[in-house]
Chain A
Amino acid sequence: MTTATSKRLPSPWGRLRARAHDHRSLTILAGWAIVASVLPVIVMIPPLSTFQPESLWIDGFANAGVFILLAMGLNVVVGLAGLLDLGYAAFFAIGSYAYAFGASPFTNLQIPFWPMLLVGAVVAATLGILLGAPTLRLRGDYLAIVTLGFGEIVPAVFLNASAFTLGTNGIGGIYKPEVFGFQFTLENPVPYYVAMVAILAITMVFLYRLQGSRLGRAWMAIREDELAAASSGINTITTKLLAFALGASTAGLAGVFATSKLTFVGPGQFGFQVSFTVLAMVVLGGMGNIWGVATGAFVIYTIQAVLLKELNQFFAVLHVPILQSIDFVQYQYLLYGVALVAMMLLRPEGLFPSSRRRQELHATSEDVADVPPPTEALGA
């Protein structure tokens, strides 16, 4: 909502931003088009190119896209509506299994990819509502533990209801997407990459539109001061529920895509680690700032899945004396922990805080995950 200000900025940059603001959807699509075409070029430059061949980078980007999608979805819940969700992976799992049921030899169904995306989103949203409806009345931290519990329950159900999910064996041989007669293959990651970028771009357009809409304002209002929001006529429960459902459906999308790419789904893939990682992505990226969160997700995923695993090769290639001989593979988890702590200590507001968040940084009372204690309301 800074249209006016940015319009008033005289600099060309300001004018550009004003333009960008007036045609935001177009800008986002353009932005993604640029990113998507630049990334493949960047990774051909050393030292990146020494890590792994380009096709693997592309493949990695497609996987990173899954986490970007997750982070953008969680951002709606945590960043916009200020609800602390620690069980986000549950919805990821639900989306994944939805696709596994819809298109695998296990059920002898072969529903096409695009419809399944929708199905996955809807199913996940439904369960989001199922979880949210009774629990969204709770104060922030109670919600946190309930969601954490839900995040443990869902994989446990997929694990134990083996009659319907093949239990711990997981469902394999899941069909790869076939889009307009074009069959995706495991050998060629490019189609996944393109599809992922398309999904990301569209999702981001939607999320930005929501953020700027009446609903988005309501979310932020609830985050800022739930009581005042209610006293302004916002039905806080339904609004929160919408945020929850929306976040869930995004995770559902991610699940469908990931499963269609991996062609296998098992209950072990959706532990608390996933939820925590995504939360870390949101917080480190800068809560409430969609682009920031997306970047945060990309950075962390790359650190986790590429850099930490390739550190040895990296130092070996550069022939760094001592580091060369350390086996980083076994310390990567430790390094990840250190990275989390360090990044938080250095930039608690995240790498790319939204303008709002930055203002909020030093206000302890403005608590992203907490409803102002109603004692305020007792007043008198």
Chain B
Amino acid sequence: MTVDFRRVIRPVAIGTIALLTEYALLGTQQFANALTLGAIYALIALGYTMVYGIVELINFAHGDIFMVGSFLAMWIMTTLLGLSGPVTNLLNLVGLLSIVMFATMVGMGFIGMFIERFAYRPLRHAPRLAPLITAIGVSFILQNIISSLFGPSPVNVPQIVPLDKFAFMGGKIGYLNVFMVVLAVVLMIALQLFVGRTRLGRAMRSTAQDREAAELMGVDINQTIAITFFIAAALAGAGGVIQGLYFGSIKFDLGFFVGLKAFTAAVLGGIGNTTGAAIGGFIIAFVEVYATVLGYTQWSEVAVFTVLILVLVFRPSGLLGQQLGERA
């Protein structure tokens, strides 16, 4: 019974409450902005939380993987598909988008696996901080590769989705915003199903629970971890795609801060808990946007982390994280 409550009712409850409060405080227009931003944070936060859940590593390079994803998508759109402006024909648009999305996600997935294989796996039995430092190193490397390939100044992304808007409940919502949120939600549900229903998903969960035991049960740890990194990076890639489409301009160093906020979201939701990560992402975005609405943009980061600290003081394992005895 309690288990059921933890698994289903609480997430739904918290999610709904959060969304309603957001809407009440922000109004349609800003609510749409917050949701769109939240979608991106959520997608990245999922990656953080999955990787952490399975190897207990704070993958600081994840934010930069997201950044690389946005550049990969940009490269595919401009160089491979030769796109420059909006695509008005809906069918073409859908086709192109799915191509870009698929290619980017797969590409990033392999990059993620590659990084895990060469930067993290050798250190799996080293003291915890060793892979952490490596992660920082990897993030430096990714940033510099990108900046030497595409230059240090902002790079444009062709906005192939027209920026048209439709009136909705007193606000003007862009189709793109809707697309982004829907996409994020779909991907999250897909992830849930994958982790919950498939054999690999079970392997992941068992590995996260107790690696040794899982190994004894015949789970291929290396493969499982590799796949986790693949999925995490793929999700970040998806985030990168919509980042480019929505903001239209990307920079080689946008990874860190977005990643930092996404990681905060993961912790806020209860690290290791995918649903929590998603909710956390939307909450962080909400806090940021609300700070802006109040006219304290420059304090938004402060606000975000203050919220985090407060939440952790009252719920030391995050909103949805299972309560481990913190008295020991």
Residues from chain A with a CB closer than 8 A to the CB of B309 are 134-135, 146, 149-150
* A148 nearest CB neighbor, chain B only: B260
- Check B16 for interface membership: any CB of A closer than 8 A: no
Q: Given contacts A142-B267, A145-B308, A152-B260, could you give 7 more A-B pairs where the C-beta distance is less than 8 Å?
A: A144-B58, A160-B299, A272-B256, A344-B131, A348-B126, A349-B126, A374-B328
- Check A41 for interface membership: any CB of B closer than 8 A: no
Smallest CB-CB A-B distances: 7 pairs: A337-B140, A340-B137, A149-B305, A348-B126, A334-B144, A348-B130, A341-B137
Partner of B127, one of A146, A148, A287: A287
Q: Are B299 and A280 in contact (CB under 8 A)?
A: no
- Check B88 for interface membership: any CB of A closer than 8 A: no
Q: Are B316 and A142 in contact (CB under 8 A)?
A: yes
Instruction: List the interface of chain A (C-beta within 8 A of B).
Output: 78, 84, 134-135, 137-142, 144-146, 148-150, 152-153, 156-157, 159-160, 226-227, 230, 272, 276, 279-280, 283-284, 287, 330-331, 333-334, 336-341, 344-345, 348-349, 357, 360-362, 364, 366-371, 373-375, 377
Q: Are A344 and B133 in contact (CB under 8 A)?
A: yes
Report the minimum CB–CB distance from B308 to chain A (whole Å).
6
Q: In whole angstroms, what is the CA distance A357 to B127 when docked? A: 9
Residues from chain A with a CB closer than 8 A to the CB of B325 are 374, 377
Partner of B312, one of A142, A360, A375: A142
Q: In whole angstroms, what is the CA distance A149 to B231 when docked? A: 27
Report the minimum CB–CB distance from A194 to chain B (whole Å).
33
* A230 nearest CB neighbor, chain B only: B328
Q: In whole angstroms, what is the CA distance A339 to B133 when docked? A: 11
Give the residue among B124, B134, B143, B324 with the most A Cβ atoms within 10 A: B134
Q: Are B301 and A152 in contact (CB under 8 A)?
A: yes
Q: Are A135 and B267 in contact (CB under 8 A)?
A: no
Q: Are B140 and A371 in contact (CB under 8 A)?
A: no
- Check B3 for interface membership: any CB of A closer than 8 A: no
Interface string of B270-292 (1 = CB under 8 A from A): 01000000000000000000000
Q: List 26 A-B contacts (CB under 8 A).
A: A84-B128, A135-B312, A137-B326, A138-B312, A138-B326, A139-B324, A141-B56, A142-B316, A146-B308, A149-B309, A152-B301, A152-B302, A153-B302, A153-B305, A160-B299, A287-B127, A331-B148, A334-B144, A334-B148, A337-B141, A337-B143, A339-B137, A340-B137, A344-B137, A345-B123, A368-B127
Residues from chain B with a CB closer than 8 A to the CB of A340 are 133-134, 136-137, 140
Residues from chain A with a CB closer than 8 A to the CB of B129 are 78, 84, 279, 283, 287, 368-369
Q: Are A367 and B128 in contact (CB under 8 A)?
A: yes
Q: Are B260 and A362 in contact (CB under 8 A)?
A: no
Q: In whole angstroms, what is the CA distance A371 to B328 when docked? A: 9
Instruction: List the interface of chain B (C-beta within 8 A of A).
Output: 52, 56, 58, 119, 122-134, 136-141, 143-145, 148, 256, 260, 263-264, 267, 271, 298-299, 301-302, 304-306, 308-309, 312-313, 316-318, 324-326, 328
Q: In whole angstroms, what is the CA distance A344 to B57 when docked? A: 15
Residues from chain A with a CB closer than 8 A to the CB of B306 are 153
Residues from chain B with a CB closer than 8 A to the CB of A370 are 56, 128
Residues from chain A with a CB closer than 8 A to the CB of B301 are 152-153, 156
Residues from chain A with a CB closer than 8 A to the CB of B122 are 345
Residues from chain A with a CB closer than 8 A to the CB of B298 are 156, 159-160
Report the minimum CB–CB distance from B49 to chain A (whole Å).
11
A345 and B267 contact, Cβ closer than 8 Å, known pairs A141-B58, A152-B260, A338-B141: no
Q: Are A149 and B264 in contact (CB under 8 A)?
A: yes
Q: Are B328 and A134 in contact (CB under 8 A)?
A: no
Residues from chain B with a CB closer than 8 A to the CB of A137 are 316, 326
